[in-house]
Amino acid sequence: MQIGFVGLGRMGGNMVARIRRDSDHEVVAFDFDKDAVKRAEKAGARGARSLGDLVSKLEAPRTVWIMVPAGKPTQDTVDKLAKLLDRGDLIVDGGNSKWTDDRTRAAALRKQGIQYVDVGTSGGVWGLEVGYCMMVGGTDKAVAQLRPVLDVLAPPPDDEHGPGWGHMGPGGAGHYVKMVHNGVEYGLMQAYAEGFDLFDKADFDLDNAQIAHLWMRGSVVRSWLCELAALAFEQEGNELRGLSAYTEDSGEGRWTIEDAMDKDVPTPVITASLHARFYSRANGDFTGRVLSALRAQFGGHATKKSADG
């Protein structure tokens, strides 16, 4: 099978490398970063100088997988490809797009006879070695066309759970499931962070890496995130002093909460974990100062002056 790849960052580049390493599928790769294209070529892909060049090197029916930032970059890429592709060709968005955008794109491309599949992709930089968990949305026909590549990118199937990817439903379903996946991830990460924060302030001299490794041995809270916590403490030290507390969010946690509100589904853990990320950016600093001032006003409690004041 042939497939074009647009966007060769940490995820896209590794996906190209996995396809070439583990299959005989041909990959044509493009990125505005010429060094990224060169790395893809070293992995066995054919480099392309532009989107037009990429499309010209693919045989119909063409399949082009996009791995660029969500929002305008993805929409611009889809719009440009739509002018270059023909009926029966397939565009795949493997980034973090909002599922409602997928529905709009799929409907617009359908009028031109171009197929569209959305793939919620989880696995991060580890996917090259262990495979990517992929939540797929689209028509049965489009997903069947993409299946040979999904089978290579996913973790190997097993008798109990089947392949490491799943067809979630029509257009948008893949990114919808991935959106909720990320919301759940927020909550899990926050719970681990709070637990280790307690250990940091405990009366005992505790080894966080040791604890995280121990929890991986039969504990009910064992998980890949716990394993990654152990790795982080080993690499950065017990107190992670080399890291900033600033924590970004990709937007999917916000979308999960918005969707939950629309459906009257309470999501207190996910919501609180997103708010905690806001505090990590010092966005709650003024809130804290107001609380301190109020305590001083009604109770005469002592306040701490800032270094600036």
End-to-end CA, the chain: 65
Q: Annotate 208-271 with three-state secondary structure.
A: HHHHHHHHCCCCCCCCHHHHHHHHHHHHHCCCCCCCCCCCCCCCHHHHHHHHHHHCCCCCHHHH
By the 8 A CB rule, do 130 and 140 touch? Answer: no
Burial 248-287, CB ≥16 within 10 A → b, else e = eeeebbbbbbebbeeeeeebeebbebbebbeeeeeeeeee
Using only C-alpha atoms, the chain has a radius of gyration, in whole angstroms, of: 23
Tell me whether strands 115-122 and 90-93 are parallel, antiparallel or unpaired. parallel
Find the helix packing angle between 72-84 and 99-110, rounded to 10°: 10
Other C-beta atoms closer than 10 Å to the C-beta of 60 total 11
Rounded to whole angstroms, the Cα distance separating 98 from 71 reads 8
By the 8 A CB rule, do 141 and 116 touch? Answer: no
> Could you tell me which residues come within 8 angstroms of residue 180 by beta carbon, excluding any fewer than 6 positions away?
256, 259
User: Of 41, 185, 194, 263, which residue is the catalytic one?
Assistant: 185
185 is catalytic: yes
User: Of 178, 236, 248, 252, which residue is the catalytic one?
Assistant: 178
Other C-beta atoms closer than 10 Å to the C-beta of 171 total 23
Q: What DSSP string runs through 55-83? A: HHTSPSSPEEEE-S-TTHHHHHHHHHHHH
Active-site amino acid positions: 178, 185
